[in-house]
């Protein structure tokens, strides 16, 4: 790796850290704006309301200190992965989120892989059959999935595949009451994953299919493709080796930018399918009016996106040295 690449990566790291710092400060002020005095909320949960107890709570949590000091405490706590405790369960917010993290990573990862694969495939087919029947079918399907509310699609899929056909489970991540191990357990989780991952992925499949189709059609009009055809290369080889390779770059860039959207979608799919991830946790926090937990999930999901963008940036930079190093 060249020095330039290292400087570039360091720059990206600093930028990511700055973004997180801004979000942390933003979070701090949002918590202060949340309805109700935090001390009173905590006291209410503990079933006490007298003034001395409230004062004790304020001192204990530093709520009587000046604002800038509180902000400093908040941010330095965040750096040590301390996000306070939940109002209700009195559990550390960070631990609760990390408990739920693997389920969300599994769901979003599966949905991402599925949508990229299916979307690119559909886009390539549509472009190859440009202005023919298959192209119209794929374009119309993409338009419909692009317009359908994710949560509604999830509910309808649950209704059809789980209630009507009874093929797939639509609740939770594992069968309740059966202590499965080894392959049985993996199979069980896999079955539970199909519906949430597919419904979450379908919206993005539509996005990638449209993007791939446009990009393929545009690339196939370029001169080097004409050259390849003119020298007698097989059409299928032109498509895969010349057009697809070059058409994929904008699609992959877009896919990297969509990590945040995927998390937003996970809140809805996890709510519908009772998938025990951080999206579902966000819904529970809303339901219990636990603002500390809510903002904790928000911060961690933002951090995930920052991290994901960082990783894709670095991969790009290593894979394709042409990408501007100056920025």
Partner 1 sequence: MNVIKSLTHNKVAMVGFAILSMFILIAVFGPYLYDGNPWRMVQRPFIPPFQNNQYILGTDTLGRDVLAGLIHGARISLLVGLVSTAIALLIGIPLGAYAGYYGGWVDEVLMRFTEIFQTVPSFALAIVLVAIFEPSVYSITGAIAIVSWPPVARLVRGEFLSLRSQEYVLAAKLNGQTNRNIIMREILPNSLSPIIVLASLMVASAILLESSLSFLGLGDPEIMSWGYMIGAAKTVLRQAWWLSFIPGAAIAVTVLSLNLLGEGLNEALNPKLSGNREN
Closest CA to 303 of 112, 17, 11: 17
Contact positions with partner 1 (CB under 8 A) in 216-245: 217-218
| 107 is an interface residue for partner 1 by CB under 8 A | no
305 is a contact residue toward partner 1 (CB under 8 A): yes
Contact range with partner 1 by CB under 8 A, out of 17-25, 57-65, 91-99, 126-134: 17-25
Is there a contact between 34 and 296 (Cβ–Cβ < 8 Å)? no
Q: Is 254 in the site for partner 1 (CB under 8 A)?
A: yes
Residue 247 beta carbon to partner 1: minimum distance, rounded to whole angstroms: 12
Q: Which 71-100 residues touch partner 1, going by CB under 8 A?
A: none
211 binds partner 1 per the rule CB under 8 A: yes
309 in contact with partner 1 (CB under 8 A): yes
Contact status, residue 171 vs residue 85, Cβ threshold 8 Å: no
∠ CA(253), CA(257), CA(262), 5° rounding? Answer: 130
Q: How far is the CB of 305 from partner 1 (least distance, A)?
A: 6
Nearest distance in Å: CB 264, partner 1: 3
Q: Which of 104, 219, 220, 302 binds partner 1 (CB under 8 A)?
A: 302
Q: Is 150 in the site for partner 1 (CB under 8 A)?
A: yes
CA distance 268 to 158: 14
Instruction: Pick the binder of partner 1 from 261, 311, 318, 321 (CB under 8 A).
Output: 261
Query: With contact defined as beta carbons under 8 Å apart, do 169 and 191 qualify?
Result: yes
Nearer to partner 1, 19 or 228 (CB): 19
* Residue 250 CB contacts under 8 Å (≥ 6 apart), including other chains: 211, 215
DSSP character at residue 92: B
CA pair distance 188, 180, nearest whole angstrom = 8
Q: Is 317 in the site for partner 1 (CB under 8 A)?
A: no
Residue 246 CB, shortest distance to partner 1, in Å, is 16
CA distance 195 to 199: 6
| Residue among 70 and 148 whose Cβ is closer to partner 1 | 148
Asked if 151 interacts with partner 1 (CB under 8 A), we say yes
| Per-residue b or e along 83-96, where b marks 16 or more CB atoms closer than 10 Å to that residue's CB | bbbbbbeeebbbeb
Binding mask 163-192 for partner 1 (x = CB under 8 A): x-----------------------------
Of the CA atoms within 13 Å of residue 9, those in its CB half-sphere come to: 14
Torsion from C-alpha of 51, 48, 70, 304, nearest 10 degrees: -170
- Please list the residues that pair with 85 across neighbouring strands: 92
SS3 content of the chain, % helix, strand, coil (to 5): 75, 0, 20
Q: Quick check: 281 binds partner 1 (CB under 8 A)?
A: no
State the residues that interact with partner 1 by CB under 8 A: 19, 22-23, 30, 33-35, 143-144, 146-152, 155-156, 158-159, 163, 207, 210-211, 214, 217-218, 254, 257, 259-261, 263-265, 267-268, 271-272, 282-283, 286-287, 289, 291, 294-295, 297-298, 301-302, 305-306, 309
């Amino acid at each position: 790796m060249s020095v330039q690449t290292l400087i570039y990566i360091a720059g990206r790291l600093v930028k990511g850290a700055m973004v997180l710092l801004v979000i942390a400060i933003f979070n701090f002020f949002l918590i202060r704006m949340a309805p109700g005095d935090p001390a009173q909320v905590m006291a209410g949960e503990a079933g006490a309301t007298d003034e001395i107890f409230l004062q004790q709570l304020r001192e204990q949590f530093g709520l009587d200190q000046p604002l800038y000091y509180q902000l400093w405490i908040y941010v330095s706590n965040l750096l040590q992965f301390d996000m306070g405790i939940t109002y209700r369960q009195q559990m550390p917010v960070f631990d609760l989120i990390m408990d739920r993290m693997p389920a969300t990573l599994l769901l979003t990862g599966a949905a991402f892989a599925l949508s990229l694969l299916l979307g690119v495939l559909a886009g390539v087919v549509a472009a190859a059959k440009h202005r023919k029947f298959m192209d119209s079918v794929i374009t119309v399907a993409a338009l419909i999935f692009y317009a359908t509310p994710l949560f509604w699609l999830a509910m309808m899929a649950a209704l059809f595949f789980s209630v009507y056909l009874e093929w797939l489970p639509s609740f939770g991540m594992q069968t309740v009451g059966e202590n499965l191990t080894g392959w049985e357990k993996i199979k069980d989780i896999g079955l539970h994953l199909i519906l949430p991952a597919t419904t979450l992925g379908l919206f993005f499949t539509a996005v990638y299919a449209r993007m791939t189709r446009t990009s393929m059609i545009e690339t196939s009009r370029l001169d080097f493709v004409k050259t390849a055809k003119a020298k007698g290369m097989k059409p299928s080889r032109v498509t895969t080796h010349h057009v697809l390779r070059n058409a994929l770059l904008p699609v992959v860039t877009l896919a990297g930018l969509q990590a945040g959207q995927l998390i937003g979608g996970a809140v809805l799919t996890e709510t519908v399918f009772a998938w025990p991830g951080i999206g579902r946790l966000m819904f529970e926090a809303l339901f219990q009016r636990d603002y500390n937990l809510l903002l904790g999930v928000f911060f961690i999901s933002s951090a995930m996106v920052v991290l994901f963008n960082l990783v894709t940036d670095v991969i790009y930079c290593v894979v394709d040295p042409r990408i501007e190093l100056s920025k």
